[in-house]
Amino acid sequence: MTVSLTIENLSAHYGQTQVLKDLSISVKAGELVSLLGSSGCGKTTTLRIVAGFLAPTAGHVRLGDRDLTTLPAHARDIGLVFQNYALFPHLTVQENVAFGLKQRGISSADRARRATAMLERVGLAQLADRLPGALSGGQKQRVALARALVIEPPLLMFDEPLSNLDAKLRVDMRVEIRQLQKANGTTSLYVTHDQEEAFSISDRVAIMNAGRIMQLDTPEVLYQKPANAFVARFVGFENLIPMKTIARDGAIVTAEAAGGAKLHLSQDLFGPIKDDFVLATRPDGLVVRGQGEGIPATLGTRTYLGRAYQYKCETAAGEITANGALSEMFEPGAKAVLVPLPEQCCILDPENRDTTSRPD
């Protein structure tokens, strides 16, 4: 049974503070969507509203054709995996996994069979009689996963499930979670603050800030074509250079940065061409050269990255971080130009006040 999850115009308040602002997400049947953002962006609040632990002040949550908005949490039939595992300390691994089946009135023989089968799938059948206290973090999270999956829920939700594990295990577990989720085709909502985790595990990622979704798209699009300055910064476009269009000549747009530096940019980079825009690049999208068409800069601190040198650069448009080839090393204080690589640039609208807060 695969169904879609629809979150419509959700608003939530803690006291006077609005933590979710008219938030809408649609997760297609069988899809895994991540909510990604720093703490306080509203991602966990969203998950807790869908789970039924918090009530929204406005909006609806639908699972397939069921409206969950006013349904009590225990009647929602959602599999939840928590950051701190939340296993029942007084029950064995087997009893933990069978707990949800017991609530559904399934006979004890069936419970045992299904719990055992699920424990085998997560590779823990031999630990069935242990208490959770005797398990490692990774094993605990596998039990939690088995416990959530065994009830065959139409929706699985993960709340930072890997945050308490060490780096190596985190990578292994996210592959495992993804495989199990795909094999079952369960619609899933995954909350994390870890960009790499979100991008590697998800079909689509919603980048959130201050109770809003800044962009919801595939990891590829988010990484290469951020839709706004916030998302751009979030995915590593460190340099946001305000520009003005001063001329158009066929497919070439001529634009000017603060300080008068002119750049000729292909029209293909743009959607509709605006008078004011922001040129966004990662450090490796701006090349430090001795000469050429680019933004004049005075070089500052140089860092060796292995594949390139990275320079802190002073320009009329502000401080910019750019990379230079290993073959051409500049000393601090040298004059150079920063040449944008078109395939690694993004054209964005100028930042409005609402989206200027930086991710931390």
Binding residue (CB under 8 A) for other proteins from 9, 24, 57, 103: 103
Least distance to other proteins, CB of residue 159, Å: 9
Going by C-beta distance under 8 Å and a sequence separation of 6 or more, which residues neighbour residue 66? none
Least distance to other proteins, CB of residue 101, Å: 9
Query: Does 5 participate in binding other proteins (rule CB under 8 A)?
Result: no
Query: Does 104 participate in binding other proteins (rule CB under 8 A)?
Result: yes
Residue 72 phi/psi, 5° resolution?
A: -65, 155
Query: Does 71 participate in binding other proteins (rule CB under 8 A)?
Result: no
User: Which residue's CB is nearer to other proteins, number 131 or number 227?
Assistant: 131
Give residues 196-255 in contact with other proteins (rule: CB under 8 A): none
Least distance to other proteins, CB of residue 84, Å: 6
Binding residue (CB under 8 A) for other proteins from 100, 138, 211, 226: 100
Bridge partners, residue 197, by sequence: none
CA angle 2, 42, 146 (to 5 degrees): 40
Whole-number Å distance between alpha carbons of 269 and 265: 7
Cα–Cα nearest to 192, from 157, 160, 156, 231: 160
Whole-number Å distance between alpha carbons of 338 and 234: 22
User: Which residue's CB is nearer to other proteins, number 124 or number 144?
Assistant: 144
Binding residue (CB under 8 A) for other proteins from 79, 138, 324, 340: 79
Binding residue (CB under 8 A) for other proteins from 43, 76, 121, 142: 76
User: Which residue's CB is nearer to other proteins, number 73 or number 221?
Assistant: 73
Q: For other proteins, which stretch binds (CB under 8 A), given 72-80, 174-182, 204-212, 272-280?
A: 72-80
Tokens of residue 129, six digits:
């009689």
- Helix axes of 137-149 and 167-184: crossing angle, nearest 10 degrees: 10
Query: Does 168 participate in binding other proteins (rule CB under 8 A)?
Result: no
DSSP 58-119: EEEEEETTEE-TTS-GGGS-EEEE-TT----TTS-HHHHHHHHHHHTT--HHHHHHHHHHHH
Taking the alpha carbons at both ends of the chain, their separation in whole angstroms is 39
DSSP 203-259: SEEEEEETTEEEEEE-HHHHHH--SSHHHHHHTT--EEEEEEEEEEETTEEEEEETT
Least distance to other proteins, CB of residue 77, Å: 7
Binding residue (CB under 8 A) for other proteins from 89, 260, 272, 333: 89
Cα–Cα distances in angstroms (integers) from residue 333 to residues 96, 186, 298, in the given order: 64, 57, 6
Binding residue (CB under 8 A) for other proteins from 70, 74, 331, 333: 74
Q: For other proteins, which stretch binds (CB under 8 A), given 24-32, 45-53, 188-196, 262-270?
A: 45-53
CA angle 76, 100, 79 (to 5 degrees): 50
Query: Does 140 participate in binding other proteins (rule CB under 8 A)?
Result: no
Least distance to other proteins, CB of residue 100, Å: 4
Binding residue (CB under 8 A) for other proteins from 4, 18, 88, 221: 88
User: Which residue's CB is nearer to other proteins, number 140 or number 174?
Assistant: 140
Please, are residues 191 and 47 in contact by the beta-carbon 8 Å criterion?
A: yes
Least distance to other proteins, CB of residue 128, Å: 18
Q: Return residues touching other proteins (CB under 8 A).
A: 51-53, 72-80, 82, 84, 86-90, 99-100, 103-104, 144, 147-148, 151
